[in-house]
Amino acid sequence: MLEKARHLARQTGTFSSACLTVSCAVPPTEGLLDARFRVAAENLARFGAPPEDIAALRNAMLAAPRRDGPVMRLAVASAGAICLDVVLPSAARRNQVAFGPAPQLSPMMPAARWPTPYLVVTIDRVCADIEVLGVDGPTRDAARAACGPDGSCQAPDGGGSRHRMTFSAEHSGDRNAAQAATEINRLVAATSPAFVLVDGDGDAASSMISGLSDAARELVIRAGSPAHTDGGDVPTRRAAIDRALAVRARAERRRVIEQFADAAARQVGAVQGLQNVVDSLRRGEVERILLHDNPPSPVMLWSGSGPLDIGTERKQLVDIGVSAPVSMPADAVLVRAALASGADVVVLGGDIGSDTGNDTADGTGNDTGNNTDHDTGHDDVRLKDGVGAVLRWSDPSRQVSTTALPAWCRSTSEGPRP
């Protein structure tokens, strides 16, 4: 997913982008989806998107998603063709559209940072379903890993990521569970999953877990539902997956925040605020950009055709010879520049599967324009203008002033408060 985003970020042209809720707890009808897209189409047309792009986006949005539960779909079109079409694992974000030289890639950043797959196992006394998934659905690695040499793999959806093991009635439940454990051990070794979510009959699941290797057992999370492989409690399973992804995301994000705090406290290798981050991106200095999760941001930046043709004012681009710069949402411009220059993007408060971090400082959804900035809810870090960056190299004269930082990052001996 991330490589797709980087490739698109380096392209030039004009892009029409739409990120919309495409499913919910009760599957929406085509009429509801069409009504949702009608609003998006009106906004795209108002922004100047061509009719052929809007038609292509409509077709993408109305296609059935590959996942159940609450999801969003992000699609980007240019010259009437779809350049990117991804299903995101949470519908917590607001619907949004954009048109201009920068494709709107920020909605996929929380999910794109977690390319490691995970296993979902649903087991009872009769059979076991073992799926290898990434945050955007079945993984290519799963197609190679899920089928054993005994030919017992089935891939009914053509994705190759679902392995159904049907146990012999002649064998005991413990023997069947051991057979499933063997397959899970093989998949753990082959795919290095982030976790193994186990659901289904309690006795069968416990027996299977007891047969796992130490490496596989350490990854196990119990879903806590009485699901069986003939359907089961899908919402409970989905919630357990989202919780596991969110925990992993928060742990990794905490590490990134501590790195930024350390660099900021030493006044070497970190900047914050729109103008400082924009200047650093243009110079190719940024190793990692940190953004508060607040879509769609009311803050606008100027963008030219090149991914690093960016500025806080139109005159900045005109003065360096950029023709016809366009005003676009800041998150679209910053994420494109970061991805195109090889930088990492970290969204603060953008948990996969959570609905936190969307409000601005005054709680109304509107930017207050002062330096209280945006509260992420989980990360306990506030950045000037909602953006900061860790740098590959830097000029000390442009570093973060400690007087502008919250207390948690004014000393290298103290990290963020727990």
- Residue the block writes with tokens 């949702």: 36
Average pLDDT, the chain: 75
Average pLDDT over residues 325-329: 93
Give pLDDT tens digits for 2-52. 888 999 999 999 999 999 887 654 555 567 677 878 999 999 999 999 999
| Angstrom distance (rounded) from CA 199 to CA 185 | 17
Residue pair 13/76 in contact (Cβ under 8 Å)? The answer is no
pLDDT value, residue 200: 85
Residue 152 confidence (pLDDT) above 50: no
Nearest CA-CA partner of 148 in 113, 189, 107 = 189
Q: Which of 282, 256, 384 is nearest to 338 (CA)?
A: 282
AA letter at 1: M
Q: Distance between CA 355 and CA 341 in Å, rounded? A: 30
At residue 101 the predicted structure's pLDDT band, cuts being 50, 70 and 90, is very high
- pLDDT, one tens digit per residue, over 114-145 is 656 888 888 887 788 888 877 555 443 333 33
Cα dihedral 247/252/255/260 (nearest 10):
-120
C-alpha 147/C-alpha 257 separation (Å) is: 40
When pLDDT is averaged across residues 355-372 and rounded to a whole number, the result is 31
Structure tokens at 371: 């330096």
What is the bridge-based pairing of β-strands 270-272 and 300-303?
unpaired
- In DSSP notation, 355-375 reads --S---TTSSSS---STT---
CA distances (Å), 191 to each of 130, 135, 139, 244, 364, in order?
A: 13, 14, 10, 17, 44
Angle between helices 51-62 and 30-47 (to 10 degrees): 160
| SS3 per-residue string spanning 111-140 | HHCCCCCEEEEEECCCEEEEEEEECCEECH
Cβ 303 vs Cβ 100: under 8 Å:
yes
Q: What is the pLDDT of residues 293-321, one digit of tens each?
A: 765 557 899 999 999 999 999 999 999 99
Check residue 147 and give its pLDDT: 34
For residue 110, give the nearest of 72, 140, 83 by alpha carbon. Answer: 72
User: And the tokens for 404?
Assistant: 């502008």
Q: How far lies 242's CA from each of 109, 119, 245, 355, 405, in Å?
A: 16, 13, 5, 11, 32
Looking up tokens 């690695």, which residue turns up? 141
What value does the CA radius of gyration of the chain take, rounded to a whole number of Å? 23
Helices (H) and strands (E) in the chain, counts: 12, 17
- What's the pLDDT at 110? 79
In 3D space, the residue among 8, 16, 87, 83 whose CA is nearest the CA of residue 52 turns out to be 16
Place of tokens 């409690």: 233
Q: pLDDT per residue over 195-229, tens digit each?
A: 898 988 888 899 999 999 999 999 998 876 544 44
User: In this structure, which amino acid lies at residue 139?
Assistant: T
Q: At what angle do helices 330-340 and 2-9 cross, to 10 degrees?
A: 100
Q: Domains in the chain, ordered, with CATH?
A: 118-247 (3.30.420.60)
